[in-house]
A and B are shown apart, each in its own frame.
Chain A
Amino acid sequence: DIQMTQSPSSLSASVRDRVTITCRASQSISNFLNWYQQKPGKAPKLLIYIASSLQSGVPSRFSGSGSGTDFTLTISSLQPEDSATYFCQQSYSIPWTFGQGTKVEIK
């Protein structure tokens, strides 16, 4: 199975800060990398697919980049409603696997 490792595991930032979360795959996954946002008691929500494509309805302050083994999710200007846990997921090969999550808190 492909292992996905996120960093950091948690972070605290102020409103309007630029926030970056990284995700590393244990082998090359081309650009088959997706990002999700999850709030407490809710199902994850797809933000970015195929590394950099913004899902319909997602604010443009979210962006993704990377290929191969290293990927990033960037929030260009953090908003209060962005307080959540973020997960990466590879869709290169079955079984699909997820990172352990990054919890983003607002200072």
Chain B
Amino acid sequence: QVELQQSGPGLVKPSQTLSLTCAISGDSVSSNSVTWNWIRQSPSRGLEWLGRTYHRSKWYNDSSVSVKTRITINPDTSKNQFSLQLNSVTPEDTAVYYCARAGYYSNRGAFDVWGQGTVVTVSS
């Protein structure tokens, strides 16, 4: 059974960096058949896919244009986890943040395993 466990602070000051980690059990961050994603949810923006990392002989990343200049998603093979960093946050980045696994082939882009969610508030 695959599980994702999120960790990280729930309060971030404006202009600082939001950092979250997603620890994987029951699967490998280096798996060639899935991708590892970050998604957020807020009343104003709904569910918003932020970006992903995945391994296909080498590491790849994709991200949404809305956060492209501010986002970093990194895999950590030694700890079997991946992380999200979002720079220069504003109150508009306040949301529940989720990590999620998605299929790459037969169930392409379907998020079949989710983390528990982290409520992140951007406020001074």
Contacts and interface: CB of A to CB of B under 8 A. Distances in A.
Interface residues of A, number: 25
Interface string A40-51: 001111100110
B65 A50 contact: no
A65 interface: no
B107 A49 contact: yes
Contacts of B110: 34, 46, 49-50, 55, 89, 91
A48 B114 CA distance: 15
A67 interface: no
Interface of A: 1, 32, 34, 36, 42-46, 49-50, 53, 55, 87, 89-92, 94-98, 100-101
Interface of B: 46-49, 62, 64-65, 98, 100, 102-103, 106-112, 114-117
